[in-house]
Structure 1
Amino acid sequence: MTHRFILEPYKGIATRHTCPECKQKKCFSRYIDTDGKVSFPEYVGRCDREQKCGYHFTPKEYFEQYPEQQTQTYERIVRPVPPPLPTSYINTALVERSMNRYADNLLFQFLSSQLGADEALRLMQLYRVGTANHWQGSTVFWQTDTHGKVRTGKIMLYNPTTGRRVKEPHNHITWVHSIIHKEGFNLKQCFFGEHLLPTDEKRSVAIVESEKSALIASSYLPQYLWIASGGKNGCFRDDNLSVLRGRNVVLFPDLGATEDWSARISTMQRMGISVKLFDYLERNATKKQRAEGFDIADFLLEMKQPQAILQGMIAKNLSLNLLIKELGLVLIEEPIHPVSTVKRRGFKL
């Protein structure tokens, strides 16, 4: 509880006055009412010269002398905090309408070129990724919580050849809740892929920043259940992390974010989450990889090439070989997930 009647804070010499007792100038602090309803006489206050003067006339003493000035309480009335607003959700029909037209989706085109069309489709449907109309060929990543309710959708535009986000002539990223202009919308974000947590409570959870990275890493390292924070600082509040209580979690930060994510570990452990940090990328990345902002998915895509090509890449970049050993990756001929039309190579532990 904070006090309503306080000594006037120092805001320059004008806020210090002559003591009514010792007559010393600029050493007397007057009491004020932070609610602005009571104006105390000039003698209600305290002299700063505690040893030589010690004058102190309190609001309590003033009200005892002038009970007609008595207020209901000497303390500020602490008003009850209003209950939190309920979380808003996106209409299910809108989500379902987006779950098609993948042939026009530029991210789907990139994933198909890397993983095969069947695998790309499986991932888009599993993670509830749709096609948006905001920009031609754009992608919408629906944030679906553990109850299957959609909190919002992040819309982004990708280059179908490189898989990188389009940032020219401006950064192509926006939010569904901003576009629909729903009055009184109360956004509470959740992890991308969070809806998958109840489907497998034993598998270790891997957290990355990027939604796209969660899709790719899920294909190549399926021993983890991959979710995305949506950014370096996203979804690390207690209410977000509560869905991970009792789980084994591995953090896979982007290059440059390792220190920030390391600072999250103590909070997560306090909440009953077993946490490890995969910092191999930070320790072994090349200057070029750092400049391009690599994350775990970028490394996995580099290593998915056929063995001959991979060996050539290792000869040029020794860190790739170190990463293979670090993760215990083994190149296999058959795809990790059965596909009907496309044969591809993958990795397993």
Structure 2
Amino acid sequence: MNSTYRFILQPYKGVATRHTCPACHKKRCFSRYIDTEKQISFPDDVGRCDHEQSCGYHLTPKEYFERNPMSKPMHSDSAAPMTRRAEPTERRKPSLIESKTVSQTLHGYHLNNLYLFLGSKFGAEEAERLIGAYRVGTSKHWPGSCVFWQTDINGSVRTGKVMLYHAETGKRVKQPFNHVTWVHSLLKLPDYNLRQCFFGEHLLPMNRDKPVAIVESEKTAIVASYYLPEYVWLATGGKHGCFNTDALRVLRGRQVTLFPDLGATQQWREKLPLLKSLGIEANIFNFLEESASDDERTEGYDMADYLLQIESDQAVLQSMIRRNPYLQTLIDELQLTLVSVERYNPDTDTFPKSSKTEKS
């Protein structure tokens, strides 16, 4: 039977009609959307991965047009059936993960590779604070994996992304396959209505006076919040994630800065008109794109990669300043330069005799 819809997944006509998934990077498993009227050509990432359980990637034409309103066809019912206008229906509420399921993951951090990495950089106390603030869980799906719970502005959990990192390097495990999946897929919840929100969105109500910073990676949001706590750091969870009208509404009236990964600056710059149309004051941080080396571009550096290069002494100093903000005033007034605080004991608030600061 012929489809009555204008935008459909490309029918299978051999391996040439199945492509590499932009999310899990598996070959010949991705179906792209096509326009049956042959007027619109969608980008290569508008489509659905066949691996619904292990990947679950699905970017629909509707979501694409929400993110790119200028690309939407002039007639308003273009995404509806061609032979009939869709009857108005009540919009389905997003499905949620039970709080009991979430609570069961909020422990066992000694087995969580992301926690171990953060602890090696910032110390166990700071790692626990960061993990707790962002409500990161521990998963048993892969030994050492974590769960990035997407907790919305009302405190409800939309879903969780399970990912595996190397404990020593903090890099994602992508061999022999990309270790990423979704909690709602693992739980095999029937008829799950997934409507993603920003990772870290639950921090917005308690930080109303702070500007908002948006990055792609959940790990980057956590790391950046340690170095630059004057922002509320959120993550989209993907290059195109959360750049739609529904997800962006929570930022209305906020001052927002986008911090794209290297290579994604232009794509994120194209999102600015959408944010502006929603009453969101937004700008883009393009310093990385302008100053990055060729190697850094090849590696696809993001904010976390640069921030983690800050000397450990400076990281400890920032932790001290958070404990006592007056210390920053003292440093500024006396023009002090850090020599060494690598053996600073935060529990006793003391230095070894060899550690000091000196005037520059």
Normalised by the shorter chain, which TM-score bucket? 0.5 to 0.7
TM-score normalised by length of structure 2: 0.65
Cα 1:91–1:252 shift into 2, 3 Å: same
**Percent identity of equivalent pairs:** 49
Corresponding residue SS for 1:275? strand
Is structure 2 residue 257 aligned with structure 1 residue 250? yes
Give 1:271's aligned residue: 278
Give 1:216's aligned residue: 223
Q: Deviations over 1:315-343 (max 9, x none)?
A: xxxxxxxxxxxxxxx979789xx954899
Give the superposed CA RMSD: 2.4
> Runs ≥4 in structure 1, deviation > 6 angstroms?
330-335, 341-344
Bigger Rg over Cα: 1
Q: Deviations over 1:146-178 (max 9, x none)?
A: 000000000000001110000000000000000
> Does the 8 A contact of 1:177 with 1:185 survive in 2?
yes
Is structure 2 residue 143 aligned with structure 1 residue 127? no
Shift of 1:218: 0.1
TM-score normalised by length of structure 1: 0.67
Shift of 1:77: 6.4
Distance 1:185 1:332 in 2: 55
Corresponding residue SS for 2:223? helix
Distance 1:160 1:343 in 2: 30
Give 1:207's aligned residue: 214
Q: 2:87 aligns with which of 71, 80, 89?
A: 80
Distance 1:341 1:185 in 2: 50
Q: 1:97 aligns with which of 66, 82, 104?
A: 104
> Does the 8 A contact of 2:121 with 2:312 survive in 1?
no
Cα 1:188–1:254 shift into 2, 3 Å: same
Distance 2:350 2:215 in 1: 27
Q: Deviations over 1:26-58 (max 9, x none)?
A: xxxxxxxxxxxxxxxxxxxxxxxxxxxxxxxxx
Give 1:29's aligned residue: none
Is structure 2 residue 298 aligned with structure 1 residue 291? yes
> Does the 8 A contact of 1:107 with 1:138 survive in 2?
yes
Is structure 2 residue 186 aligned with structure 1 residue 186? no
Cα 1:275–1:339 shift into 2, 3 Å: farther
Which letter does structure 2 place at the counterpart of 1:272? Answer: G
Between Structure 1 and Structure 2, how many residues are aligned? 246
Corresponding residue SS for 2:147? strand
Distance 1:331 1:211 in 2: 31
Is structure 2 residue 245 aligned with structure 1 residue 238? yes
Cα 1:137–1:281 shift into 2, 3 Å: same
Cα 1:331–1:258 shift into 2, 3 Å: farther
1:16-165 equivalences in 2 (<5 Å): 78-165=85-172
Corresponding residue SS for 2:104? helix
Shift of 1:125: 0.7
> Does the 8 A contact of 1:334 with 1:343 survive in 2?
no
> Does the 8 A contact of 2:313 with 2:341 survive in 1?
no
Which letter does structure 2 place at the counterpart of 1:169? Answer: P
Distance 2:260 2:288 in 1: 9
Which letter does structure 1 place at the counterpart of 2:263? Answer: G
Shift of 1:202: 1.1
> Does the 8 A contact of 1:117 with 1:342 survive in 2?
no
Distance 2:178 2:86 in 1: 43
Give 2:334's aligned residue: none
Cα 1:343–1:207 shift into 2, 3 Å: farther
Q: 1:167 aligns with which of 174, 188, 200?
A: 174
Shift of 1:292: 1.6
Cα 1:164–1:256 shift into 2, 3 Å: same
Structure 1 residues not aligned, in runs of 5+: 1-75, 308-329, 345-349
